[in-house]
Amino acid sequence: MSVKQEGSGRRSVQVELELPGTPEEVWQAIATGPGISSWFVPAQFEERDGKPVAMTLNFGPGMESRSVVTTWDPPRVFAKESDGWVPGSPPIATEWIVEARAGGVCVVRIVHSLFASTDEWDSQLEGASSGWSGFLATLRIYLTHFRGQRSAIVQLTAPATGTDADAWESLLASLGMKSVGVGQRWTAPAGVPASSGVLEYRTESPYDALLRLDQPGPGVAAVGAFAYPGGQTFVAVNFYLYGDPDAGTVAQVTSRWQAWMQERFPMPSEPSRSA
């Protein structure tokens, strides 16, 4: 995806998609804490005088991202600004624009932008857009099948050996998903916590797959593999459980899948140190 350059120094990339629902329903999903938490990561807004002024996203222990709300015009435009992803990079602005279309759908445009005099930070913009693909597919599943429902999120990651491609192959084989195509049903094989559903989405750039679940309950399972540049490779299995599941169900799903992840992808042993 190419970066658009303007004379003012603004550089931006844009993603556009069509989603089912009214502008109000789409807004609820993309611009409220419970809505965002139903397809992305746990989100919480800070308010002042009844109006959101900041938002915090929780990507995992010690991985929180806070941004300032710069535009709030429901149900049409929501914009925020946050620090760049690496020290010294310019702040990145993200704008969500909702436009109603005939037939009970909306077009949503997501624009990432920053101001810079060179292309030094263009890769950040391009990465921001490409990283949305799996989450936006989850958003579409949510609005199609679970619109308006709250989600309990289970986030599980584990280190893996080799490249992200190696980890992806290992994860798919362990889950019995290698030969499952989009639109086909999947049932967990022996040794995997009881689960079943339909494969709704799969891509290998990045390595992501989404299952619309009916067991352990209505929801979405997002599985993937990724590697930090020059660093550790990880596999991830995340669940969005809909229909207000009770705390016991969430705890049971978490413990069973944690045990499975630890068994299939154990923590790498530290090299022994000579005395």
Sign of CA dihedral 46, 52, 54, 56: positive
Residues 73-112 have pLDDT tens digits of: 999 999 999 987 667 778 889 999 999 999 999 999 999 8
* Alpha helices per DSSP H over the chain: 23-30, 33-37, 122-130, 133-145, 164-175, 247-264
pLDDT in tens, 133-149: 899 999 999 999 999 99
d(CA 134, CA 207): 9
- Which three-class secondary structure state does DSSP give residue 193? coil
Pairing of strands 4-5, 10-20: antiparallel
Q: Report the amino acid identity of residue 136.
A: L
pLDDT band at residue 272 using 50, 70 and 90 as cut-offs: very low
Q: List, for residues 161-201, the tens digit of each pLDDT value.
A: 999 999 999 999 999 999 999 999 999 999 999 999 999 99
Which tokens is 168 given? 């992806």
Dist CA 19 CA 118 (whole Å): 35
User: Cα separation of 59 and 205, whole Å?
Assistant: 21
Q: What's the whole-number mean pLDDT along residues 47-54?
A: 95
d(CA 200, CA 209): 8
Exposed, middle or buried, 118 (CB in 10 Å: 0-12/13-18/19+)?
Answer: exposed
Q: What is the pLDDT of residues 236-257, one digit of tens each?
A: 999 999 998 899 999 999 999 9
Cβ(186)–Cβ(196) below 8 Å: yes
Q: Identify the three-state secondary structure at position 133.
A: helix
Domains with residue ranges and CATH for the chain: 4-145 (3.30.530.20), 151-264 (3.30.530.20)
